[in-house]
Amino acid sequence: MGGWPMLDIKYIRSHPEQVEEALKKRNLVGALDQFLDLDRQWRKILVQVEDLKKFRNSASQEVGKLKKAGQDAGELQDKVRQVGQEIKALDDQVKELETSMDAILLNVPNLPHESVPVGPDEESNLEMRRWGEPPKFDFEPQAHWDLGPGLDILDFERASRLSGARFTVYKGAGARLERAVINFYLDVHTSKHGYREIWTPFMVNADCMMGTGQLPKFAEDMFKIEGREMYLVPTAEVPLTNLHREEILDGADLPLYFTAYTPCFRAEAGAAGRDTRGIIRQHQFNKVELVKLTRPENSYEELEKLTADAEEVLQLLGLPYRVVLLSTGDMGFSSAKTYDLEVWMPSYNTYKEISSCSNCEDFQARRANIRYRPEPKARPQYVHTLNGSGVAVGRTVAAILENYQQADGSIVVPEVLRPYMGGLDKITREGR
């Protein structure tokens, strides 16, 4: 196959019913009928063309020998020339079939893990646990989109003048708070959880987007650079996971833990009217991401640890949250199992997603061709890739403003952030 096989083709061939069954959980029916048909054709023609190539190889050698011996090879040459035409025709067919098969497979999502609740949408999600208590206010709490402008640390009006809707200007202590959260997250994950800090390009090529599964299906969700095959990263998951694309890693080096801060750019197509106020849903937001490349046998263990790593920063910040296991209908395209972390947001009077931690198993590894050698001589296998927000920075700031607000509209700075804020313990209008 030329492109990016997503599900294991051999597995699909030998277990079509299981695959159909699994895809049904994701509301996909009959997705593979056509594929299996194409596959049969493909293999048939492949056998033919390889046979002809075998003939061409030996006949060409024969021609060489004849010529060296000073004999005439004209007849054989003519024959091979004819075969060459046939080969070209069949090769074209093979290529066409591969293109069609890729087109199908690239649009088929990952198969859900057996522990994932089956259901059509988020209604079937499963709450796993809660941490912390939502704060009780003895005054009318404000939303961050009122608190921020009130303190003159968030400026939505001027941001829209600069860039339009879904952008925010941070000012003074607000800007510093954003930066403090970024640094705090990176410090915790690198020094306490063993992740290696990476600084990545914020623009990547289409192969990367294909590798992690944003392309080809979700092109409209991203910002593409005019006139180039380049995209603004929608999440650091893309550059981090693709870091070892097309490589065979040494099994002794696994697992690999990466963390990176990047801004994230999303078109938010289809989200018109949702979360229009505040900094919850922006075209540009900051995030510290966690990515792991692991051996298949312990990727689920690693998912639990990764989720716990993301949870810990919320605990350290004292932000109440809950952990939700997404159902088959609510999971992302590339994921086999996803936990969402949802932080308490007083303005919504509910928990709001602040992190999404997924095990993609070998789905992305196949697309991006990331393999490892279990033992020195063993044949390469696909790694499992995991990713999780560790966590979204903008939403963290929103949560801090709302959960730590005081009656006078000031904000108490969470203790762990004060070293990052020059010792500032409270954001006030006067001290902004």
Partner RNA sequence: GGAGAGAUGGCCGAGUAGGCUGAAGGCGCUCGCCUGCUAAGCGAGUAUAGGGUUUGUAGCUCUAUCGCGGGUUCGAAUCCCGCUCUCUCCGCCA
Structure tokens at 253: 């080096």
**Residue closer to RNA (CB basis): 77 or 406:** 77
**Cis ω on the peptide bond leading into residue 120 (within 30° of 0)?**
no
For 268, other C-beta atoms within 10 Å of its C-beta total: 15
DSSP 172: T
Residue 248: CB minimum distance to RNA, A: 6
Candidates 13, 56, 179, 281; catalytic one: 281
| Inter-residue contact 245 to 211 (CB < 8 Å) | yes
Regarding 248 and contact with RNA (CB under 7 A), the answer is: yes
Closer Cβ to RNA, 59 or 416, answer by number: 59
Smallest distance from RNA to CB 298, Å? 18
User: Is position 81 an interface residue for RNA (rule: CB under 7 A)?
Assistant: yes
80-86, long-range: CB < 8 A, 24+ apart:
80/55, 80/56, 83/52, 83/55, 83/56, 83/59, 84/56, 86/52
Task: Find tokens 């987007």 and name the residue.
Answer: 209
Q: Tell which one of 27, 29, 37, 43 touches RNA (CB under 7 A).
A: 43
Residue 36 binds to RNA (criterion: CB under 7 A): no
217 binds RNA (CB under 7 A): no
Q: Does 377 bind RNA (CB under 7 A)?
A: yes
Rounding to the nearest 10 degrees, give the CA dihedral for residues 330, 334, 337, 342: -60
Stretch that binds RNA, among 143-151, 209-217, 295-303, 375-383 (CB under 7 A): 375-383
Decide: 391 and 310 in contact? Cβ < 8 Å: yes
Q: Which residue has the tokens 């809660």?
A: 130
Residue 356: active-site member = yes
Beta strand extents in 15-55 (DSSP E only):
none
75 as an active site residue: the answer is: no
132 or 374, CB closer to RNA? Answer: 374
Task: Specify the residue, 248 or 267, whose C-beta has the smaller distance to RNA.
Answer: 248
The catalytic site residues sit at 266, 281, 353, 356, 395
Binding site residues, RNA, CB under 7 A: 1, 9-10, 43, 46-47, 50-51, 53-54, 56-61, 63-65, 67-68, 73, 77, 80-81, 84, 88, 95, 248, 371, 373, 376-377, 379-380
